[in-house]
Chain A
Amino acid sequence: MTTHLTTTAEAPTGLALSLKNVTKTFTSGGPVVLDGINLDVLPGEFVTLLGASGCGKSTLLSLIAGLESPTDGEISTVAKPALMFQEPALLPWLTAEQNVELAMRFRGVNKAERKIKAQELLSLVHLDRAVKQRPHELSGGMRQRVALARALAQDSSILLMDEPFAALDAVTRDILHEELIRVWQETGVTVVFVTHNVREAVRLGQRVVLMSSRPGRIAREWQIDVPEPRRIEDEDVSRLAGEITAELRKEIRRHAN
């Protein structure tokens, strides 16, 4: 059993995060959820993790975030990663601004600085006018943007995203894709983005990592060389998505018997 390491010293030079032979079983002797995952991510890289249900992609993210420990293998990251969920998970009794500030408060940032930084981050996600509003007064897309600002407020160089746009309508999602890419470009943060939506994976990622299910393994990787600004309806995006979908279906079909 190897412990989860998150110190700078442990991250191999030149990498933002590195997984070595990471294996996870929830009960000893039980089914293997993740089996020998090896993954290196460069600083500032945008990687999308793609897979069908049961491939353990969310579990993998929890392991990287340090919410759970791997059964075996080694995880090293240059910083304690920030994590965004499918639900905005905003605290309903706080305003947008206070939600963003809370993440800084736990880091010990002083009040004046918190206030300024929260304004900056909400402005970054184009929510200047919603600063004083509470989550229930915001739309789903706006909440998810507050959640993005809050994740950025953790001031980590690594941002983990667990299907953050899965619950949004297609129009909102399309706009948030653009928004996320813009924020990523402006901040230079390293992003690991989990999704089951192939087009989304290709639209966003510089690299798409396909995982197979039961046990979760890395099946194949694609470098996506389509230049930004991309659109989800771009021909190159469609072509690659088609290719990856074919591979994903092959993986799913293996479970038919």
Chain B
Amino acid sequence: MQTNNSDDLHSLEAGLDALQVGQKPHTSHSTWTKVVPPIISIIVVLGLWQLAFMSHIKPDWALPSPAMVWDTLKTQWSQGVVWPSVANSLRRALTGFILSIAIGTPLGLIVARVRPIRTAIGPVLSGLQQLPSVAWVPAAVIWFGLTNSAIYMVVLLGAIPSIANGLISAVDQIPPLYLRAGKVMGARGFNSVRFILLPAALPGYLSGLEQGWAFAWRSLMAAELIAWSPQLGLGLGKLLETGRDLGDMSMVFSAIFLILLVGIAVERLGFAPIRKRILRNRGLLAS
């Protein structure tokens, strides 16, 4: 009788589970719908640009056509300028970004969790995020000269506050229920941070990292644009500055294009897949 009851309950539950979980609607997003809209938008932008060029709003040297910019890019590529510039800038930005993560993460965690420290440096940290990091260029150059150290200082001061503030607000937004559940299960100290706090804060932390990257990249471009010396070598900001020096608008445009391209590539190939995975795991992403 007891066994029968238990079997009965088992099948009852299995039925209810099947009914309640339901079928997921199968929405198949083909690569087609992912690829076509961006291509159309690129064609439209290029078309408008060509139209503006042909209607001679500005003289040709001030507003070159897409084809002229493309030619410049090809020439620069054959001169071996493009790749070293991209690689140099990307390496600097990544180094600065990784350093910023290493400093910004513990900083954010401490400010988020230790009340007196938060009162003391919380406002400074959000203030620093408002401050354009270009403002640090003169100070950095005076302290470090025209060196990589000066550039890293500007990048770090741009990215660290973003990463720290992102983590602080992420920790603030953790539903108290998770922390309570952790407490009931006996999570204390390091365990509580490692298994409850950090994973719970992950989506917000990732947004902070994305913003930190954007700030690092922007700060780097500004620093490269303003500070240059032979020992610093090539860079995308430098490429932009050379274009301005020569009054070569095609070169300026090609540099802007490359900077934009790096930004898009980092977002699409770096952050987007990670973000997608985190959100999907938590059921925060519609399939």
A: residues with CB less than 8 A from B are 65, 67, 80, 82-83, 85, 87, 89-94, 102-103, 105-107, 126, 130, 134-142, 150, 154, 171-172, 175, 178-179, 182, 229
Contacts and interface: CB of A to CB of B under 8 A. Distances in A.
B282 interface: yes
Nearest to B191: A106
Q: On chain B, which size bracket covers the interface?
A: 20 to 34
A67 B183 contact: yes
Nearest to A139: B20
Nearest to A106: B186
A94 B185 CA distance: 15
A154 B16 contact: no
Contacts of A178: 9
Given A91-B199, A179-B13, A65 B21 contact: no
Interface of B: 5-6, 9-10, 12-14, 16-17, 20-21, 177-178, 180-181, 183-188, 191, 195-196, 199-200, 202, 278, 281-283
Contact of B5 (A83, A93, A139, A229): A229
Question: 3 shortest A-B CB distances, which residue pairs?
Answer: A136-B283, A139-B20, A89-B181
Nearest to B12: A175
A135 B180 CA distance: 17
A139 B184 CA distance: 23
A65 B180 CA distance: 11
A174 B147 CA distance: 72
B25 to A, nearest CB: 14
A136 B284 CA distance: 9
Contacts of A103: 185-186
Contacts of B283: 92, 134-137
Contacts of A65: 184
B195 A105 contact: yes
Given A139-B17, A172-B20, A80 B186 contact: yes
Contacts of B199: 91, 93-94
B6 A182 contact: yes
Contacts of A139: 16-17, 20-21
Contacts of A93: 199-200, 202, 278, 281-282
B20 A106 contact: no
B286 to A, nearest CB: 11
A139 B281 CA distance: 16
Contacts of B278: 93
Given A65-B184, A83-B184, A102-B185, A89 B9 contact: no
Contacts of B10: 126
A105 B199 CA distance: 16
Contact of B282 (A85, A136, A154): A136
B202 A67 contact: no
Contacts of B9: 126, 175, 178-179, 182
A150 B185 contact: yes
A179 B9 CA distance: 8
B193 to A, nearest CB: 13
Given A93-B199, A136-B282, A85 B181 contact: yes
9 contacts: A65-B184, A87-B177, A89-B180, A102-B195, A105-B195, A134-B283, A137-B21, A140-B20, A175-B13
A220 B12 CA distance: 36
A82 B184 CA distance: 7
B75 to A, nearest CB: 50
B136 to A, nearest CB: 37
B54 to A, nearest CB: 53
Nearest to A80: B186
Contacts of B188: 106
Most B-side CB within 10 Å, residue of A83, A89, A94, A103: A89
Contacts of A106: 185-188, 191, 195
Contacts of A130: 17
A214 to B, nearest CB: 25
